[in-house]
Structure 1
Amino acid sequence: MSPTVDDLRNEIREALGRYERIESTAFTKEALGALCDAVGYDIETNPFPPKSEMRAGVLRTIGALEDVDPTQADRPFRKAELEAIAAALEEQ
C-alpha cells in the first residue's frame, strides 16, 4: 500500500527534525522554511516569503519545476511532489 499524503508530509517533517502531526495539515511557513534549507534553496527568514514562493523554490531545487514561479505552486504540494521531496531528502 502506498503512503498517503499525510504519511508523506509526516515523513518529510521528521526528516527535517520537526514533529509528526496527527491531523491533516499543509506545511506551516516555518516548516517550509526548514524544507527550503534542507534542499538548499536560500530564502530570507525574517519575514518568510509567501508559501507559494517557498514551494516553487523547493520544487525547482529538486527538479520538479523549471523556474521558481510561485503561480505554479499556489496550492499545497501534491502527492507526486511530496514523493519527489521525500526521495530528495533521503538522498541527502
Structure 2
Amino acid sequence: MADTVDDLRDEIRLAVGRHERLESTAFTKEALAAICEAVGYEPETNGRPSKPQMRAGILWTIGVADENDPADAQRPFRKAELESIATALRDG
C-alpha cells in the first residue's frame, strides 16, 4: 500500500524533529524552516522567508525543481514532491 499524503507529511515532520499531526494539514512555517535546515537550504532573506520561498528552496535543493522560484511554489507540496522530500531526508 502506498503512503498517503498525510503519512508522508508525518514522516517528514518526524525526520526533522517535529511532531505528527492528528489532522490533515500542510506544513507550518516552523516545519518548513526545519525541513530547509535538514536539506541544507539557507534562504537569502532578512527575517523569516515566506512559505512559497521555503517550498521552492526545498524542491530546488533536493533536485526536484530546476530553479529556486517562489512563484512556482504557491501551493502546498504535492504527493510526488512529498515522496521526494521524504526520500532525501531518509538518504540524508
By how many angstroms is 1:44 displaced? 6.2
User: Aligned AA for 2:33?
Assistant: G
1:16-46 deviation line (CA, Å, top 9, x unaligned): 0110001000000000000000000003687
Aligned to 2:60: 60
Offset of residue 48 of structure 1: 1.3
The match for 2:84 is: 84
Secondary structure, counterpart of 1:41 in structure 2: coil
Aligned counterparts, 1:1-92, within 5 A: 1-43=1-43, 47-92=47-92
Aligned sequence identity (%) = 65
Gaps of 5+ in 1: none
Q: Secondary structure at the match of 2:81?
A: helix
Runs of 4+ aligned residues of structure 1 deviating over 2 Å after TM superposition are 43-47
Q: What is the rounded CA distance, in whole Å, between the counterparts of 2:33 and 2:82 in structure 1?
A: 16
Q: Do the aligned partners of 1:33 and 1:43 also contact (CA within 8 Å) in 2?
A: no
Q: Root-mean-square deviation (CA), in Å?
A: 1.3
What's the TM-score once normalised by structure 2's chain length?
0.95
TM-score, length-scaled by structure 1: 0.95
- Kindly indicate whether the alpha-carbon contact (under 8 Å) linking 1:33 and 1:45 is maintained by their aligned counterparts in 2: no
- AA partner of residue 88 (structure 2): A
Report the residue type matching 1:51 in the other structure: K
Give the paired residue count.
92
